[in-house]
Amino acid sequence: MTTMTEASVREFKMPDVGEGLTEAEILKWYVQPGDKVTDGQVVCEVETAKAAVELPIPYDGVVRELHFPEGTTVDVGTSIIAVDVSGGAAPAEAPAPAAAPAAEPEKKPEGRQPVLVGYGVAASSTKRRPRKGPQIPVQEASTAIQTELNGHGAAAAAVQPSPAAVQPAPPAQERPLAKPPVRKLAKDLGVDLTTVTPTGPDGIITREDVHAAAAPAPEAAPTPAPAPVQAPAPVPTYDTARETRVPVKGVRKATAAAMVGSAFTAPHVTEFVTVDVTRTMKLVEELKQDKDMQGLRVNPLLLIAKALLVAIKRNPEVNASWDEANQEIVLKHYVNLGIAAATPRGLIVPNIKDAHAKTLPQLAESLGELVATAREGKTSPAAMQGGTVTITNVGVFGVDTGTPILNPGESAILAVGAIKLQPWVHKGKVKPRQVTTLALSFDHRLVDGELGSKVLADVAAILEQPKRLITWA
């Protein structure tokens, strides 16, 4: 990367377009060296771990150099484009890359190396003189030497004095203090009173002392058997001619890390309910014809979202988060409703801010904007932050249901299965009805089984009888 030294050249660095992001991938350059740019003009599109974002240049000038090609992941704070703010033309050709730095001179070994005999300090030049021990009797020494010569002992044993030769005779030991019954007990148990540690007053040996001395010594713990040597794990092999490797980065990398963290941090519980939504489907068709809903996105997801918001209002404790640092449950008096959206770059979960306060037309408008922005890949990082609960619609793929993983930091996620015409007992008769299966996963630290069941049952009851949107709201 070339370094611009002219005072008129400004370096534009990769900004932190989210909260605490550390890197971003350059997806597309909209300018090339020699192009004129103006303050606020978008020069490139980058993908962070949360979304694709367009970057505007903050000054006027002429592009001198693009430091990185498309597809490169760049750390935040690294210069990505150089702009000549004086308005001068771009250079005819890119400057040659800087020469590699000269190799450092070989370091000389530390310390002075002796090159002449007798120069310097010789290693291990001094030895400690052995201490003089007591004289060994001649007969014992000769026996030890003969043992060494016969090959039955170590050389060191030949010079080892015997304990009797080197240790002075111990003074006569005083007679231990003990009462006659205690002495008889010691004799019966075969205990030498001179080896017993007295605990009685004035150093008298008690019956307990004798019993303690007679008790068998605790057995040494058995030596554990050596662990079996495990065979090394087989090295995986790959058929590179028939396999393709896809780098995990950007949104997919962030999603993978978030899902692993959520799955192994929050204790998940998932409950299911199958419900007749025939009346809800009829209401969807009626709303499509309503003049107040003209031009808005009206579909079953809209009424499912409204049903979940009503259920949360009836059970507000479900709308919470877990504060690990302070060991507290944070109850939230607002609902930022997340909607999981599959995009070419991966799964993202933007949320509708303050969804609890929106009317049905307002909720439909916000839902339409959210989906359209996600499809275009223009979802901002702010739109994906601060969610409280989420809905994931797996039914659009023809799937009946699933066990969704919580979006990190949220308390619950509702999975909506495919709505299908199925035989159902209605008013005592088996009739074809529109049926779906709902699955609610929740964080069991925050939501117990009773609370989670109430929320799921309320959502199902509203979808079965959508007039409850009025009576329960």
* Distance between CA atoms of residues 325 and 322, nearest Å: 9
Half-sphere exposure of 233 (CA within 13 A, CB side): 3
Type and span of the H or E element at 347: strand 346-348
Residues in the chain: 473
> Are 134 and 162 a contacting pair, CB within 8 Å?
no
- At the second CATH level, the architecture of 9-84 is Beta Barrel (2.40)
- From the list 152, 333, 356, 444, the catalytic residue is 444
Three-state DSSP state, 124: coil
Q: Which residues contact 431 (CB under 8 A, 6 or more apart)?
A: 423, 424, 425
User: Is 279 exposed, middle or buried, given 0-12, 13-18 or 19+ CB atoms closer than 10 A?
Assistant: middle
| Type of residue found at 380 | S
Where are the alpha helices (H) located in 248-299, listed in sequence order? 250-263, 278-289
Where are the alpha helices (H) located in 236-375, listed in sequence order? 250-263, 278-289, 300-314, 360-375
* Distance between CA atoms of residues 34 and 19, nearest Å: 33
What are 378-434's pLDDT values in tens digits? 888 889 889 999 999 999 999 999 999 998 889 999 999 999 999 999 999 999 999
Residue with tokens 């009851």: 461
Q: Domain-by-domain residue ranges, the chain?
A: 9-84, 263-471
Three-state DSSP state, 276: strand
* Distance between CA atoms of residues 185 and 305, nearest Å: 88
* Residue 432 DSSP label: E
Instruction: Output the CA angle 75-78-80, nearest 5 degrees.
Output: 110
> Are 355 and 370 a contacting pair, CB within 8 Å?
no
* Distance between CA atoms of residues 34 and 61, nearest Å: 10
* Distance between CA atoms of residues 414 and 360, nearest Å: 19
Mark the ranges of the chain whose per-residue pLDDT is less than 70.
Answer: 1-7, 18-21, 49-50, 87-174, 216-231, 233-236, 250-256, 258-259, 261, 263-264
> Are 112 and 120 a contacting pair, CB within 8 Å?
yes
Tokens representing 392 are: 């994931």
Phi-psi group of 262: left, alpha or beta (phi > 0 → left; psi -120 to 50 → alpha; rest → beta): alpha
Cβ burial 93-119 (10 Å sphere, 16+ → b, else e): eeeeeeeeeeeeeeeeeeeeeeeeeee
Please confirm, yes or no, whether 356 is among the known catalytic residues.
no
Q: Which residues contact 288 (CB under 8 A, 6 or more apart)?
A: 298
Q: Which residues contact 266 (CB under 8 A, 6 or more apart)?
A: 322, 406, 443, 444, 445
Q: Which residues contact 121 (CB under 8 A, 6 or more apart)?
A: 114
Where are the alpha helices (H) located in 50-179, listed in sequence order? 138-149, 163-166
* Distance between CA atoms of residues 12 and 33, nearest Å: 14
* Distance between CA atoms of residues 1 and 95, nearest Å: 10
Please identify, in words, the CATH class of the domain defined by 263-471.
alpha beta
* Distance between CA atoms of residues 75 and 345, nearest Å: 20
- Asked whether the CA dihedral 259, 264, 268, 270 is positive or negative, the reply is positive
The partner residues of 433 in beta bridges, in order of sequence, read 422
> Are 277 and 419 a contacting pair, CB within 8 Å?
yes
* Residue 176 DSSP label: P
* Distance between CA atoms of residues 57 and 52, nearest Å: 17
* Distance between CA atoms of residues 72 and 91, nearest Å: 24
Residue 378: CB atoms within 10 Å: 14
